[in-house]
Each structure stands twice: as C-alpha cells, then as structure tokens.
A = this chain, B = another copy of it.
Amino acid sequence: MARIVMKFGGTSVADVEKIKNVARRVKSEVDAGNQVAVVVSAMSGKTNELVGWADEISPMYDAREYDVIVSSGEQVTVGLIAMALQSMDVPARSWLGWQIPIKTDGAHAKARIKEIDTTELDKRMNSGEVVCVAGFQGIAPDNRITTLGRGGSDTSAVALAAALKADRCDIYTDVDGVYTTDPRIVPKARKIEKITYEEMLELASLGAKVLQTRSVEMAMNHRVRVQVRSSFSDAEGTLVVDEDEIVEQEVVSGIAYSRDEAKITLVKVADKPGIAASIFGPLAEANINVDMIVQNVSEDGKSTDMTFTVPRGEFKRALSVIEGNSAKIGYKELLSTSDVTKVSIIGVGMRSHVGVARKMFETLAEKGINIQVISTSEIKVSVLIAEEYTELAVRALHTAYGLDAE
C-alpha cells in the first residue's frame, strides 16, 4: 500500500467525459489498495476565460478580487471529480483551499504556500476516503482566497505530497512525460525515463512547460518523487528523482529553448565601478526580470558595451526605463532586438565531464550559427542566437549530444 497524490491538469478535466476518465484512473489506484489525494486544475480554457473577464473590467485589477474570480475554476472541477468518484462507489469529498486550510502568504495572484494542515485529510485518507483538493488556491492571513500563479496546481500537488508524506506525486497531463527536447521541433526527441530535480528545474525555467518551476523547487526541497505522465495512456511517464537514483547519467539530458527573449545592448558605457548598478538597479525597481548579462572586455580601459536579455513581454518597458535613466547611466547608443532565442543544454553530467560546452559551440559554428551571448551554470549552458536558427540549432545539438531516438 502506498500513499499517492494524483494531479490532473486542465486538458485532463476538460469536460465531463474526461472527468469520469480521471475518476476511473483514481479508482484503479484505490482498488490497488492505495491511499489517494487528487489535485485538479480548472477545465482547460476556463482560467483564461475568467482572467479575460477580469482584464475587461479593469486592466489594473485588484489581485484579491482576481483570486476570488479565478479560483472558482478549480472549485467546479473538484466538486465534479468528487461526485464522479462517489458515483463509482469510491468514498470521496472535495476540499477547497480555505477548508483544509492551505495557508499561504498574502501575495495575491502569486502566493506561496506556508503551511498545509493535514490533520483532517490524514484521518480521511486513513479511513479510505479519497480527498479531492482544488489546486492553485489557498487562503491568506486575512481570510481571503489566494492563487499560486499560472500552473500553480503543480505546486499545490507537490506541496500536498510533501505535507502528506506521500510516496509519490503523479502529475497527469496531456503529454506522456518529459522529452529530451520539444518533439514538435525534433521528431527524434526521446521521452526521458528519469531526470534529476536539478535538471528538471533548469528545463522548467528554460521554457519546457511541462511542470511549473516552483513545483520542481518544492519537490527538490522536500524530496518528493514526482512522476509526469499522460492522462490518456497507460505508458510509463518520466520520474523526477534524486541524482543517486539514476544509475547511468547522460552528460546532457535535454535541450531547451525559449523564444521569450529580447536583447538590449548599451554601447560605450563607462567602464567603472557602479556602472552595472546604475543600469540594473532601475530595472529591478521596475520589477523587470533581467536574465543573461554580458559585459565586453574593455578595449580602451575607459568604456565597454553592456548586453543583457529580458522577457519579451517586458521589452518595451525595459527600454523606457533605460531611456529614462540615460543621463545617469551615460551610453553612446542603445541597440535592441527581440529576434532572438535562448537555446540551452542541460545535464548534471556536465559537472564531471569536460568539453561539454565546447561541443555546443563547435556544433553551432559548423552550422554557421553565431552566438550572441553565453551564460552558464553548473549544469547548463545557454546561448542566445538569432531566432531564425532556432530549429536548426536545437536539432543539431540534439544529434551532437547523442539524444536522438534510434
């Protein structure tokens, strides 16, 4: 007997038939003798519809009211899934964030879970009842509903698995696992059987949309065994686990890419202490997320070029912040483009292998792809390239690192 958390995303609960299908999957785990907590998202499209209404009312809406509105989507599905289970003679009831409670901080629309009281859930699960939990939502100290940000149901599920000391947290979605890269670009992409938390974290934050980044962080911190798998097939999914559980580790596990990039270059800024602060201070104050940063080697010892990237959605705002501070920063020219893609190779094997980055640079050079910016961490190398080369680069790297399926 195991205790498991099963999380179903929006496409898995998109209509009544799919919800019944989810109930059948849950029932089969119950019939196998497992204790089950189910976490559900809103029906696919529902959250977008609700957010759309809020935007229509006022683009500058109150995040507390936003949370009241958008949390209703999960409320509907959690009731329906409990009903569906009951109709199959599986004891079940729904739980909303405030009923458990799932306590969060007061950062509405992007709240963080502080504590989950599992007293009642524990009791119910021990007695054989399936606890159906509305994902994405919690309750703030002021007794108002909070939501955890888009994709937040993944985080709900992992947090619940940690709090319930579950043996496993299964994330059911519309793909059957995590792939070595996007199969829409590389038909030879392979499903990864096991991946480390660290790699999954990089993949998630580098653009692979299969898990919310925060949920992976949380899984890593609490050592929750996460499995990503399909609601629509019985195929084994991808297991996200500790490094020591993976016997034969690839050097590079996956290739990620993100088109959500824009590049800004400040030409000939003074090469002196404090110059970086004068540029990135105002951007941070404006809540703009700067990603890659590269400062050219100064040729004359007096001036240098500073290049950095920001998400495309914050591109225009970033430019106007820089222009508004142009006198204080002092630059000769401001260059910018959004025709760029960030391509990354990820793998914990990099730590113990040399020449991994070099192979990346050589592979791209062979294809005539110019690298504009490079950034690295312990387990990933990211390069910024012209957007038009995206597919070419990803395919070439996928082959170069031996990831192609036979």
| Chain A contact residues, CB within 8 Å of chain B | 16, 19-20, 50, 53-54, 56-58, 60-62, 64-69, 71-73, 75-76, 78-80, 82-84, 86-87, 93-94, 96, 98-99, 143-145
Contacts and interface: CB of A to CB of B under 8 A. Distances in A.
Contact of A68 (B20, B54, B69, B75): B75
Contact of A56 (B16, B53, B56): B16
Nearest to A78: B68
B99 A143 contact: yes
Nearest to A42: B72
Contacts of A69: 75-76, 79-80, 83
Nearest to A120: B143
A62 B50 CA distance: 26
A83 B86 CA distance: 37
A19 B58 CA distance: 12
Contacts of A79: 54, 65-69
Contact of A64 (B56, B80, B93, B145): B93
Contact of A65 (B20, B82, B144): B82
A80 B53 contact: yes
Pairs of residues from A and B, 10 with the lowest C-beta to C-beta distance, nearest first: A68-B79, A58-B87, A69-B79, A72-B72, A16-B56, A65-B79, A72-B75, A57-B83, A65-B83, A65-B82
Contacts of A94: 65, 68
Given A65-B82, A68-B75, A68-B96, 16 more contacts: A20-B57, A50-B76, A53-B76, A53-B80, A54-B79, A54-B80, A57-B83, A57-B84, A58-B84, A58-B87, A62-B82, A62-B83, A64-B93, A65-B93, A69-B79, A99-B143
Contacts of A143: 99
A51 to B, nearest CB: 11
Contact of A86 (B53, B58, B78, B145): B58
Contacts of A65: 79-80, 82-83, 86, 93-94
A99 B56 CA distance: 26
Contacts of A64: 93
Contacts of A96: 68, 145
Contacts of A20: 57
Contacts of A83: 54, 57-58, 61-62, 65-66, 69
Q: Which residue of A16, A57, A60, A66 has the most chain B CB atoms within 10 A of its CB atom?
A: A57
A14 to B, nearest CB: 12
Given A99-B144, A144-B99, A87 B68 contact: no
